[in-house]
Chains A and B, each alone.
Chain A
Amino acid sequence: MVRVLERERTIAAARAAAARVVDPEIPALSIADLGVLRDVRLGADGMIEIDITPTYSGCPAMRLIALEVEAAVEAAGLGRPRVNLVLAPAWTTDWITPAGREALRRSGIAPPVPGGGRRALFGADETVPCPHCGSATTEKLSEFGSTACKALWRCRACGEPFDYFKCH
């Protein structure tokens, strides 16, 4: 019983440490809120195992996130974990938590509009509210932005350009 509790405590501590790691390109967003942290468990050999999943195929942040997760768990005194990159199920922006969406908005990044961005050809753009003033009178400047996950938009009400975290 004691051992079971200890295991649970270790896993919870490791999860808490890993969950504090932030996306290096969007520091307001933790990897837990981003939906990249998928599982924390204790391996048969007593080593902590952590699953993370990539956002975009070519996301250059994944390697850094894996290293930072290792460092965070080690710094919490739990030893060096095994960090696995899992592909299935594929990450989707639906996994960004409500807290994560709010963190994006506060950083001036419009959170993904569910169901948007999936048309391959033709059809209208989604409506993306401005993260600064909330106006829905916005327009797309470029499908691709400063990182793989973002597009560049502009608000016609307050005149500010902003990043839009694309629905994926």
Chain B
Amino acid sequence: MTTIAVAESDLTLALLRLADTALVHGHRLSEWCGHAPMLEEELALANIALDLIGQARTLYAYAAEVEGAGRTEDDLAYLRDAPQYRNVLIAELPKGDFAFTILRAFLLAAQARPFWQEATGSRDATLAAIAAKAEKEAAYHLRHAGEWVIRLGDGTEESRRRMLDALDALWPYTGELFEVDASDHALIAAGVLPDPAALRPRWDAAVDRVFAEAGLARPADPWMQTGGRSGRHTEHLGHLLAVMQHLQRAYPGATW
């Protein structure tokens, strides 16, 4: 099996982290196709998945260009194995029930929206251009998921029970959204990436406001899960990639 490893400069690593998170989360949302609780949600989840996969594609294309090894966005998506993926762990957790899917989408969008808004001012012109599109899409994602968190949290006994279970399961994965390593520091200092510390209050505000309306108590911060951004994943990512990459693995170089 061909497995490629992208030469990781600070910039390619940052692009892979963003792209992998978008692609893996997009793939999880696409698993709802044909299974959503109602037609409107079928359309919504598929549309959000499409936005995320589209963002991933543009980011991969740029990462490949920066790497300069003649690879394409498809190579980066289909030919890297789990240890080469750099997504945050929360994105790869199995799709769970509707409450789990919605809460994850909310927690990620509440981070993505301010991230992309700030990134429109990046000194990297291509990242700024990608951000200009993504921040508008993230606004829709945040609104959609936020309204559902409220409806489920403040809904029936059953929807509330499921939302509380989802909150317990997902909260330990939120710390990774704001992690910063040496590679990030270099790009933050260079004005390429927004500083997660500056985004954190806006994430907190969105979470607190929606949780207040949903009647959800914010959990105390437990020990936070970590590792995805440096390639240490849960067992779930390998299974996801087995499905997503199957065609290219079985028929290398296949095209439509």
The interface of chain A, by Cβ under 8 A from chain B, is 54, 56-60, 87-91, 117-122, 141-146, 148, 152, 166, 168
- Separation of A119 and B140 alpha carbons in the complex (Å): 8
A118 pairs with B44, CB closer than 8 A: no
6 A-B pairs closest in CB distance: A58-B54, A57-B54, A90-B132, A88-B129, A87-B129, A142-B40
Chain A positions within 8 Å of B58 at CB level: 57, 87
A58 pairs with B55, CB closer than 8 A: yes
Chain A positions within 8 Å of B53 at CB level: 58
Chain B positions within 8 Å of A148 at CB level: 47, 50-51
- Separation of A56 and B54 alpha carbons in the complex (Å): 8
A-B contacts, CB under 8 A, total: 88
Chain A positions within 8 Å of B140 at CB level: 117, 143-144, 166
- The 8 Å CB contact of A57, one of B126, B137, B206, is B137
B143 pairs with A121, CB closer than 8 A: yes
Chain B positions within 8 Å of A141 at CB level: 40
Q: Which residue of B lies closest to A152 (CB)?
A: B40
- The 8 Å CB contact of B133, one of A56, A117, A122, A142, is A56
Most buried by B among A91, A117, A122, A166: A122
CB distance from A102 to the nearest CB of B (A): 24
Most buried by B among A58, A87, A141, A143: A58
Chain A positions within 8 Å of B146 at CB level: 120-121
Chain B positions within 8 Å of A58 at CB level: 50-55, 57
A142 pairs with B132, CB closer than 8 A: no
B142 pairs with A121, CB closer than 8 A: yes
Chain B positions within 8 Å of A91 at CB level: 133
Given contacts A56-B133, A59-B54, A88-B132, 16 further A-B contacts (CB under 8 A): A54-B133, A56-B51, A57-B57, A57-B134, A58-B51, A87-B132, A87-B133, A90-B129, A90-B133, A121-B146, A142-B40, A142-B44, A144-B46, A145-B47, A148-B47, A148-B51
- Separation of A89 and B134 alpha carbons in the complex (Å): 13
- The 8 Å CB contact of B206, one of A56, A88, A121, is A121
Given the contacts A87-B130, A89-B132, A118-B136, A144 and B47 also touching, CB distance less than 8 Å: yes
Chain B positions within 8 Å of A168 at CB level: 136
B139 pairs with A118, CB closer than 8 A: yes
- Separation of A122 and B143 alpha carbons in the complex (Å): 7
Chain A positions within 8 Å of B134 at CB level: 57
Q: Which residues of B from 44 to 72 have beta carbons under 8 Å from A?
A: 44, 46-48, 50-55, 57-58
Chain A positions within 8 Å of B44 at CB level: 142-144
CB distance from B171 to the nearest CB of A (A): 20
CB distance from A97 to the nearest CB of B (A): 20
Given the contacts A87-B126, A88-B125, A121-B209, A144 and B144 also touching, CB distance less than 8 Å: yes
Most buried by A among B130, B138, B143: B143
Q: Does B210 sit within 8 A of A, measured CB to CB?
A: yes
- Separation of A31 and B45 alpha carbons in the complex (Å): 27
Q: Does B113 sit within 8 A of A, measured CB to CB?
A: yes
A-B contact pairs, 9 of them (CB 8 A): A58-B50, A87-B133, A120-B206, A143-B44, A143-B144, A144-B48, A144-B140, A145-B47, A152-B40
Q: Which residue of B lies closest to A123 (CB)?
A: B143
CB distance from A62 to the nearest CB of B (A): 9
Most buried by B among A56, A89, A117, A120: A120
Chain A positions within 8 Å of B244 at CB level: none
Chain B positions within 8 Å of A89 at CB level: 129, 132
- Separation of A133 and B249 alpha carbons in the complex (Å): 53
- Separation of A60 and B256 alpha carbons in the complex (Å): 14
